[in-house]
Amino acid sequence: MFVSEYFDASLSAKLTADAVLLPLDDGAMADLLNLLADSDDYTFLAIKSEQSYEVVKAHKKGGLIALDRGQEGTTAVLHPMGACVATVSPLTLAVMKDIVCNYECCQTDCVCEPVTFGSAMLPTPVANKEYVGAVIFNGDLPITIGVNDATSSWITVTQEGRIAKLSGTPTGSSGRVSLAAANCNGKYVTGFDTKFGDS
């Protein structure tokens, strides 16, 4: 069964292009094994660094996490130690893939600048007080930004060009949001914590 709960960590060792087991430290491994509690549970993970991006299907194999490499049109590549590992929704991936593959420039040499993370302005939310934050992406327009996963139900995400505006009234519990962005020849997925101060 597909598990959609948010998870993120970093590779505890390099992941070679032919490796089938996910290298994580003990704490992160325990968390992911806990999420994939049943023997038929699986999730999709994006593994990314400045040099690489790949989507994998992850499932439990004994006390380890086994990977089906190169999912959603990505290729199995070498990922360095410390590369980010985070859950990603297959629905979002399908939408992003459709967006990327249907731009005319994908049929020939694409000359646009691929989307990348730019910056984030994310003040600490305070319970019961209006919140406004933003995540900014770089790259040529048009860029499509979507919510990949949200455990903070009070957050509303709206897009203005390269900017994802986050707004709402915090309810008093911490959470997490993951955004996905795509344009003509690149994609980027990012997650960030929403931590609450004193109300």
pLDDT tens, 93-122?
Answer: 555 555 455 444 444 455 678 888 888 888
Residues ≥6 apart with Cβ < 8 Å to 77: 17, 52, 54
Task: Give the pLDDT confidence of 59-75 residue by residue, as tens digits.
Answer: 999 889 999 999 877 88
**What is the pLDDT at residue 46?**
86
DSSP state, residue 112: S
- This prediction has a pTM of 0.52
Alpha carbon distance 1, 20 (integer Å): 20
92: left (phi over 0), alpha (psi -120 to 50) or beta: alpha
